[in-house]
Amino acid sequence: MILSVISIYSIEMVYTAAMLVFIRDLRLPPEVKF
């Protein structure tokens, strides 16, 4: 049961990080993108 909670938490963290990067890329102009 503990492993399932950790897996769900890690998935949520990855999803949040991906959304932050996506929003940041939308706000930056194409010249700033790496």
Note the pLDDT tens digit of each residue in 1-34: 688 988 999 999 999 999 988 888 787 666 655 5
19 is a domain residue: yes
Q: What is the distance between the alpha carbons of residues 16 and 23, in angstroms, rounded to a whole number?
A: 11
pTM above threshold 0.85: no
Range of the domain at 14: 1-26
Amino acid identity at 14 = V
pLDDT on residue 17: 93
34 is a domain residue: no
31 is a domain residue: no
33 is a domain residue: no
Q: What is the distance between the alpha carbons of residues 6 and 18, in angstroms, rounded to a whole number?
A: 18
Q: How many domains does the chain have?
A: 1
Who's near 33: CB < 8 A, 6+ residues apart?
A: 25
